[in-house]
Amino acid sequence: MSPLCGLEVRSKVAVMKGYGTVIPALVTPFDQRGRVDEELAASLAEHLVELGCDGVLVGGTTAESPTLSDEEKIALVRAVARRVGDRAFVWAGTGTNDTEHTLELTQRAVAEGADGVMLVCPYYNRPPQEGLFRHFSRAAGVAGVPVMLYNIPGRTGVNLLPDTVARLAREVENIVAIKEASGNLDQISTLRRLAPREFVIYSGDDSLTLPILSVGGQGVVSVAAHLVAPRIRAMIEAYREGRVEEARELHLQMLPLFKALFVTTNPIPVKYALRLMGFEVGDCRPPLLPPSPAEQVAVREGLEAVGLLPVSA
């Protein structure tokens, strides 16, 4: 039996839902004892879908994936897929720096309802490009669902180059997208030139969504969507419909918030922002820390700048 035997069925789901345009990289809520709150995660996902998000990513960097156990990751996928899987494309972050572990986690996430999986570049061990190609090819082969690659060299220590991505997109049927967080517009432009037209490029940085749209991107895997999803969707739609000045104004209005959410390591600021907005998602797990007083001020000012909090006296 082909390792892609389930792809046809899953592809029909993708056609009906689409892969998503505004995809929040969902935070992981923790209770006061530091345990994962699956119910709150599902409720937050539902809230974001009701605001217009058409995809949700569970278990990404923003979810504090390095400190989540496999059981916690799978439980989150299960909870979110059950709650919003009929209305949004549910992506599960299943990539690790161990190919065999990635295969296992990918199969488990798909079994629990993930519509697609996101695979980060193997981190710390820094494989060469051929190693990356083989790693992603093997994982896609067992997935049987759409696969999104995730390039974030600032965290992983390895850059997934355009030639390698284009080769994967051409040779592996279900590698359909990439979350590009290299911050390098030249690299993303080169990828758009080399990759098949149907291959989807997502911005992995909120502040670069509009520039990436201008070189052929289709959407964003977002941190700020937790707070301003309707405005991000409006910006993307305005750009697509040729209302470029309107898109630029929306981008500039949100820019202070985009910057505030990265005043320190993600997801420290966004979890604090969500608490200010009434979502008790808890602090981050160690070794991440609560925001400092100065960082708290920066996040508050970012929320004030977009009208989500009243301006302080």
> So which residues are the catalytic ones?
150, 179
End-to-end CA gap in the chain: 66
Q: Helix 70-84 and helix 38-50: axis angle, to 10°?
A: 40
Answer whether 191's CB lies under 8 Å from 166's CB.
Answer: yes
Spatial distance between the Cα atoms of 246 and 16, rounded to a whole number of angstroms: 29
Count of CB atoms within 10 A of residue 183's CB? 15
| Ramachandran angles phi, psi of 220, nearest 5° | -145, 140
3-class SS of residue 219: strand
Answer whether 47's CB lies under 8 Å from 80's CB.
Answer: no
3-class SS of residue 203: strand
3-class SS of residue 32: coil
Spatial distance between the Cα atoms of 136 and 47, rounded to a whole number of angstroms: 32
Residue by residue, DSSP assigns 265-293 as: STTHHHHHHHHHTT-----PPTTS-PPPH
Tokens, residue 21: 């345009």
Phi-psi region of 79 (alpha: psi -120 to 50; beta: other; left: phi over 0): alpha
Residue 278 identity: G
Query: Number of C-alpha atoms within 13 angstroms, CB side, residue 54?
Result: 15
Tokens, residue 216: 């052929």
